[in-house]
Structure 1
């Protein structure tokens, strides 16, 4: 990825300009975090339905992830105890669409390469 000037951005941990992206990587890299966002992207869900869709994710881990996503202002819990994406969460979902598109191309390539 290159900046508007054409120079590759610095990725040094000491560079304060990298703090937001490093914080995002740390948050999104936690197990089950992206899956929670994926499941909430199409529509808000209650805890039990979200837990059902999460498969192997334990209730305790799901609860912690939801708390972390709420603290990061990506998810909100409504008075009706429904979890939904905030505007920032929706924007992140839109950004992750590129990853979804890439994953489909990657899977097609991996499938055609095996055999």
Structure 2
């Protein structure tokens, strides 16, 4: 468990959720992985302005927190696929609600 999550556990469950999901692009990554398993390049194209470094960091955090699964295939060139864990899939209703709220807010 990452230190920010451990610290948040001493404060409040809302802070735990923010510590796990509050990073740049994390909820958008989860939103796209709810649709299907994706490779790094596919994720990067869907998150267009995200840098390689930022995406890598966010994926590592989500993996460390048990939200996503990273599978490396022994191929040349190497192939890496990202998918949601069971825990990650439980975020589906929350992501849908946030997506709807954000769309409504953007129209107001």
On whether the aligned pair clears a TM of 0.5, the verdict is: yes
Gaps of 5+ in 1: 1-14, 111-115
- TM-score under structure 2 normalisation? 0.75
Cα deviation, residue 70, structure 1: 0.3
Structure 2 equivalent of residue 62 of structure 1:
55
Q: How many residues align?
A: 96
- TM-score under structure 1 normalisation? 0.71
The answer to whether the Cα contact below 8 Å between 2:68 and 2:88 also exists between their aligned partners in 1 is yes
**Aligned counterparts of 2:45 and 2:90: Cα–Cα separation in 1:** 25
**Aligned counterparts of 2:43 and 2:35: Cα–Cα separation in 1:** 12
Structure 2 equivalent of residue 105 of structure 1:
104
Report the CA distance shift for 1:29/1:17 in structure 2 as closer, same or farther (over 3 A). Answer: closer
List aligned pairs for 1:1-115, cutoff 5 A: 16=10, 18=12, 20-80=13-73, 81-108=80-107, 110=108
SS of corresponding position for 2:69? strand
**Aligned counterparts of 1:45 and 1:88: Cα–Cα separation in 2:** 17
Structure 2 equivalent of residue 12 of structure 1:
none
RMSD: 2.3
Identify the range of structure 1 (30-39 vs 93-102) with the bigger mean alpha-carbon deviation: 93-102
Structure 2 equivalent of residue 5 of structure 1:
none
Larger radius of gyration: 1
Structure 1 equivalent of residue 5 of structure 2:
none
